[in-house]
Amino acid sequence: METPENGSPSSLRKEENTTGNSNTEAEEASCSSEPVETKEKVVEKGEEKLSLITWNVDGLDGEQQPERARGLCSCLSKYSPDVVLLQEVVQPYVRFLHNRLAADYTFIEGGKLGYFTGMMLKQSRVTLLRSKIIPYQTSHMMRNLLVAQVVFKGQELWLMTSHLESCKNNAEERMKQLRWVMKMMSKAPDNVTVLFGGDTNLRDAEVAQVGLPSCVCDVWEQLNQPEHCRFTWDTVANTNKDMRFKSRFRFDRVYLRRATKDGVPWLEPESMALVGLEKLKCGRYTSDHWGIHCMFSLSK
């Protein structure tokens, strides 16, 4: 959840206290027995393709939380991504996702209290080696970097997700966190491919000020900046938040650092699209952010 112009750390901490919302938990029993549709997939993944969804799911918002949690599960079942990177997860969402998708996914949590990040790895295609949580020492919002070392089709990958510091007036801390992420991506071994996806809250001017290392690419830019998925925070189209001022930002981003060792396959971006664009029956969207769905191919 983001308040681009007028939000403050104290308002976020106040919202954090609402995460004990029990609506999602109250409906879990009736929802967990519903069949999950997995036969028809939106994208037929080849054996050498990796699919990824990154999404700030706005678990802090208690409005229509059970219906929105069901919408998230339905979307993940529909796309069946190999990797799911989530931000603004709360414990009711974790339990809901476990009840519905634990048979197919390995879950990694970037925290336990308040709101946090998380990963889901498709067990039949991605093998988890280890994971770790790296706190941002100067964050005022409990933000951290969640890293998982995995194997996909015999290739070692480092997967990263984060929810960088929110709100316009926290630009300095946010840029500091971006520098740390870029440092971590850059120093990975040369036989490892690194993928980062998350809610960066970044403005383009902030990215320009920090600069990306030459070894790291912005996947959206790599795909020639497809206009249809430029804005992931769009209060013009997304009506979940009653914002005084309408705004559109590319807060959610995917970064790639390819392996550089000779003979190691490259992970190449193929496509990017937004998910969660359909209103649910309750009249709200799954989140106040659109999710990003990316496809990558392994090429030698």
Q: Which two tokens stand for residue 97?
A: 């996702």
Nearest in space to 128 (alpha carbons), one of 153, 101, 104, 152 = 152
Treating both helix axes as pointing N-terminal to C-terminal, what angle do 23-32 and 65-79 enclose, rounded to 10 degrees?
A: 50
Rounded to whole angstroms, how far apart are CA atoms 120 and 126? 10
Where does the chain have alpha helices with state H? 9-16, 23-32, 65-79, 91-101, 171-186, 204-210, 219-222
Is 190 noted as a catalytic residue in this protein? no
> Which residue among the candidates 58, 61, 82, 199 is catalytic per the annotation?
199
Contact by Cβ (8 Å): 86, 120:
yes
Q: Which residues pair with 296 in a beta bridge?
A: 50, 269
Treating both helix axes as pointing N-terminal to C-terminal, what angle do 91-101 and 23-32 enclose, rounded to 10 degrees?
A: 0
Task: Just list the catalytic residues.
Answer: 199
